[in-house]
Amino acid sequence: MTDLIHLLPDAIANQIAAGEVVQRPASVVKELMENTIDAGAGDIKLIVKDAGKMLIQVIDNGCGMSERDARMCFERHATSKIHKADDLLAIQTLGFRGEALASIAAVSQVELKSKRRGDEIGTCIQIEGTEVKAQFPVNCPDGTSVSVKNLFFNVPARRSFLKSNNLELKYILDEFFRVALVNPHVSFTLYNQDKILYQMPSGHLKERILNLYGSSYGQKLIPLEQQTPMVNISGFLGKPEFAKKTRGEQFFFTNRRFMKNAYFHHAVETAFKELIPDDSTPSYFIFLEVDPHTIDVNIHPTKSEINFQDNKSIYAILHAAVRQSLGRFNLAPSLDFEKEPGMDPPPLPAGYQVRQPTITVNPGYNPFTTQRPAPDKGTHHPAPHDSIHAWNEMYAALPKPGRGSDNSPLFPENQPEVPASRLSVTGEKKVNIQVNVAFLITHTKTGIVILDQNRAHERILYERFLKTNQPEKIQGQHLLLPPTITLNPDDTRLLQEWISHFSNLGFEISHFGKNSFLVHTLPPDVPPKEVGPFIESVIESLKTPAQDTRLSKDQKLAKAMACRLAVKRGTRLHPEEIDSIIENLFACQVPDLSPDGKPVMIILPFSDLIHKLKIT
Ligand SMILES: Nc1ncnc2c1ncn2[C@@H]1O[C@H](COP(=O)(O)OP(=O)(O)O)[C@@H](O)[C@H]1O
Ligand SMILES: [Mg+2]
């Protein structure tokens, strides 16, 4: 019998190995950019086309390579960065495994041009799927340029796994940001489809953060600094008030290498604990410097994870450093966000009295015999006809704002009455009231209605933004001086994607270069002063993956805006505001459900009260 086992040809072995290092265009960007940093470059250009699927080119002015090195660098395990096993214990460079270029060349068409400072002439080498096609001398500037074309041209299965250009470009930007953040002394330019997306001169870390995330970030940061024999910590923390609901800018770098570390993330997050709402998470740019002998960076093919010899001590130091920094900037008093301010039952406003209603009762009447609409989970169905009818009927008896007392009888005259001597309070005015700064109470012909003020207002705004009751589009209010808003690049792309939907809802916004926008009109309910933070927070909620896929984009946006603008529980309302919420809610098409599909109100039918109070 013949033996079965044979060695795989180099090309296949390399392709298999490449799977670990090169998962998508962003992995190529990461490896090429890291090589430029290791080569001591002071200026780096990244050029991408078709989100890196067609071209990724990285040009640097680093040390360059000789003719032989330019060939050698594509061999697997070919590196200039370590020589012996011991070197692995004290790695100072980003690369060291000598497999990135070999892996990239196995799955794409690569052209590398390189010249060392002092050499007369450079070299150009062309490789396709591991095979060297040509190498010849060229005239080129000092440094190296690597072009990676048609990634995965020979692994169609991999290519078909790639995501949309938008998403792949986002992954590329993530890698670009990581390298740019940790190397503020290096200038970077990023070209996407021949257009400059970022151009950043060398500078300090804070300047780099502002270059990447917009100048408004300047007011959002506080410095972090802690020197100990075990670890030096530096960087910036986002102020607690700018904490976001989704993970955004959270960066750890150890010895200038980006790393993911859930354990240290926990240290930071718990340090912020009482300062931010439970569902929010802080931003941070944290740089750790440790003795390279005390860490192991060789635990993951993409080198994005690091083992620390003394994880626990660093956790404790980091936690204390963040706490101290927050405290030093006077931000860490014992605030208690879990309890919204004003949630304690306050005394009623002066002159406010809850009066017993004058009621006459039909004990046989049951308002729940009418079918209620099924929860619409935010989708905008008109309520079933019966239900609208029931609401209209109830609404007809509601107190109207500004009308003072409404003396219409609570129940139709032909209903049998409970003797007035038992229940009525003479001279009673119907008033809508707020209790516990969270609930509104009103009454209808048939019972007492208790509303959640927040959900009620959300429903009103949601329908108003969608103009459910208006035949024509609501015109936004024109602003005399259109405010400029500056967003981070992720949010910029998102706003561009949603800009026509913002316009449908009354926001005329125009792109004003790079990450800035001008706001020309606002929907009537949006306070002009808060337009920037308002748009940012709405964009933030659009990122939530839990968004209901059955909603149209307009509905999603209306929901996000309503949620941001609606009065919160804990807000004390003026009597006119209470009346207005109640009146407007009952004019809605689906008054009993919030845009999220949660109940807005409960009704205590008088008949139940009569029964429970054993009134005969
Ligand atoms: N931009 C560059 N400038 C100079 N030398 C480079 C550059 N890119 C790669 N090299 C050389 O090619 C070698 C192989 O690169 P790579 O496959 O990424 O492995 P590693 O970075 O782990 O050494 C590097 O060790 C380095 O000597
Ligand atoms: Mg490398």
Is 553 in the same domain as 439?
Answer: yes
Average of per-residue pLDDT across 249-263: 94
Amino acid identity of 201?
P
Q: Is residue 182 part of a domain?
A: yes
Last residue of a domain, one of 171, 204, 237: 204
Which of the residue ranges 408-412, 425-429, 556-560 has the most confident prediction, judged by mean pLDDT? 556-560
Is 245 in the same domain as 128?
Answer: no
Is 187 in the same domain as 122?
Answer: yes
The angle subtended at Cα 398 by Cα 609 and Cα 428, nearest 5°, is 65
Residue 498: pLDDT over 60: yes
- Token pair recorded at residue 426: 């003479």
Query: What's residue 547's pLDDT?
Result: 53
CB-based contact 44:59 (threshold 8 Å): yes
Which of the residue ranges 28-42, 70-84, 335-349, 496-510 has the most confident prediction, judged by mean pLDDT? 28-42
Is 272 in the same domain as 195?
Answer: no
Is 184 in the same domain as 38?
Answer: yes
Q: How far apart are CA 267 and CA 272, in angstroms?
A: 9
> Could you write out the three-class secondary structure of 471-484?
CCCCCCEECCCCCE
Query: What's residue 378's pLDDT?
Result: 38
pLDDT band at 478 (very low <50, low <70, confident <90, very high): confident
CB-based contact 340:571 (threshold 8 Å): no
Is 29 in the same domain as 170?
Answer: yes
Residue 35: pLDDT over 80: yes
Query: What's residue 371's pLDDT?
Result: 40
Q: How far apart are CA 69 and CA 130, in angstroms?
A: 16
The angle subtended at Cα 259 by Cα 103 and Cα 145, nearest 5°, is 40
pLDDT band at 472 (very low <50, low <70, confident <90, very high): low
Q: How far apart are CA 568 and CA 560, in angstroms?
A: 14
Q: How far apart are CA 277 and CA 339, in angstroms?
A: 10
CA of 275 to the centre of ligand 1 (A): 45
Average of per-residue pLDDT across 12-33: 88
CB-based contact 100:152 (threshold 8 Å): no
Report the chain's C-alpha Rg in angstroms: 32
**Beta pairing partners, 252:** 259, 286
CA of 600 to the centre of ligand 2 (A): 58
Residue 598 sits in a domain of what CATH number?
Answer: 3.30.1370.100
CA of 36 to the centre of ligand 2 (A): 9
Amino acid identity of 8?
L
Query: What's residue 348's pLDDT?
Result: 37
Q: For residue range 115-164, what is the model confidence (pLDDT) as tens digits?
A: 999 999 999 999 998 899 999 999 999 999 999 999 999 988 888 889 99
Q: Which of 14, 73, 91, 112 to mutate to test the pocket of ligand 1 (most atoms within 8 A of CB)?
A: 73
Which of the residue ranges 16-25, 255-264, 458-467 has the most confident prediction, judged by mean pLDDT? 255-264
Is 519 in the same domain as 574?
Answer: yes
Q: Is 325 helix (H, G, I), strand (E, B) or coil?
A: helix
pLDDT band at 216 (very low <50, low <70, confident <90, very high): confident
Q: How far apart are CA 389 and CA 213, in angstroms?
A: 52
Query: What's residue 603's pLDDT?
Result: 85
pLDDT band at 469 (very low <50, low <70, confident <90, very high): low
For the chain, what is the domain count?
3
Average of per-residue pLDDT across 388-397: 42
State residue 537 phi and psi, 5-degree precision. -70, -30
Q: How far apart are CA 299 and CA 302, in angstroms?
A: 9
**Beta pairing partners, 56:** 48, 148
Residue 276 sits in a domain of what CATH number?
Answer: 3.30.230.10
Q: How far apart are CA 507 and CA 330, in angstroms?
A: 37
Atom of ligand 1 at shortest distance to CA of 74?
A: 17
Q: Is 297 helix (H, G, I), strand (E, B) or coil?
A: coil
Q: Which residues contact 278 (CB under 8 A, 6 or more apart)?
A: 337, 338
Ligand 1 contact via 57 beta carbon (within 6 Å): no
Q: With both helix axes pointing from N to C terminus, report the angle between 165-182 and 489-504 in degrees, rounded to the nearest 10.
A: 140
Q: How far apart are CA 323 and CA 328, in angstroms?
A: 8
- Please state the pTM of the whole predicted model: 0.58
Query: How many residues are given for the chain?
Result: 616
55-60 and 143-149 as β-strands: parallel, antiparallel, unpaired? antiparallel
CB-based contact 465:457 (threshold 8 Å): no
Amino acid identity of 323?
R
CA of 110 to the centre of ligand 1 (A): 14
Give the residue among 227, 234, 186, 230 at the shortest CA–CA distance from 207: 186
Ligand 1 contact via 45 beta carbon (within 6 Å): no
Q: Which residues contact 580 (CB under 8 A, 6 or more apart)?
A: 401
Query: What's residue 545's pLDDT?
Result: 63
Q: Is residue 404 part of a domain?
A: no
Ligand 1 contact via 537 beta carbon (within 6 Å): no
Is 527 in the same domain as 562?
Answer: yes
Residue 563: pLDDT over 60: yes
Q: Is residue 129 part of a domain?
A: yes
Query: What's residue 382's pLDDT?
Result: 35
Residue 34 sits in a domain of what CATH number?
Answer: 3.30.565.10
Ligand 1 contact via 158 beta carbon (within 6 Å): no
Provide the domain limits for residue 159: 10-204
Q: Which residue has the higher pLDDT, 504 or 335?
A: 504
Q: For residue range 354-386, what is the model confidence (pLDDT) as tens digits?
A: 333 333 334 443 433 434 333 333 333 333 333
The rounded mean pLDDT for the chain is: 80
- Token pair recorded at residue 379: 């989708």
**H-helix or E-strand spanning residue 36:** helix 25-38
Average of per-residue pLDDT across 225-243: 91
Is 175 in the same domain as 322?
Answer: no
CB-based contact 59:43 (threshold 8 Å): no
Q: Is residue 334 part of a domain?
A: no
Last residue of a domain, one of 295, 328, 361: 328
Query: How many H helices and E strands in the chain?
Result: 17, 23
pLDDT band at 72 (very low <50, low <70, confident <90, very high): very high
pLDDT band at 540 (very low <50, low <70, confident <90, very high): confident
Q: Is residue 409 part of a domain?
A: no
Is 255 in the same domain as 177?
Answer: no
Ligand that lies nearest to the alpha carbon of residue 91, given by its number in the listed order? 1
Query: What's residue 324's pLDDT?
Result: 87
Residue 335: pLDDT over 70: no
Give the residue among 428, 290, 453 at the shortest CA–CA distance from 360: 428
**Taking the CB of residue 414, how many other CB atoms lie within 10 A of it?**
7
Q: Is residue 400 part of a domain?
A: no
Average of per-residue pLDDT across 510-520: 88
Is 595 in the same domain as 457?
Answer: yes
Residue 300: pLDDT over 90: no
Ligand that lies nearest to the alpha carbon of residue 18, given by its number in the listed order? 1
Q: For residue range 594-605, what is the model confidence (pLDDT) as tens digits?
A: 888 888 998 888
Q: How far apart are CA 114 and CA 67, in angstroms?
A: 8
Q: For residue range 289-299, what is the model confidence (pLDDT) as tens digits?
A: 999 999 988 77
Residue 111: pLDDT over 80: yes
Is 258 in the same domain as 183?
Answer: no
Q: Is residue 396 part of a domain?
A: no
Residue 399: pLDDT over 60: no
Last residue of a domain, one of 204, 234, 260: 204
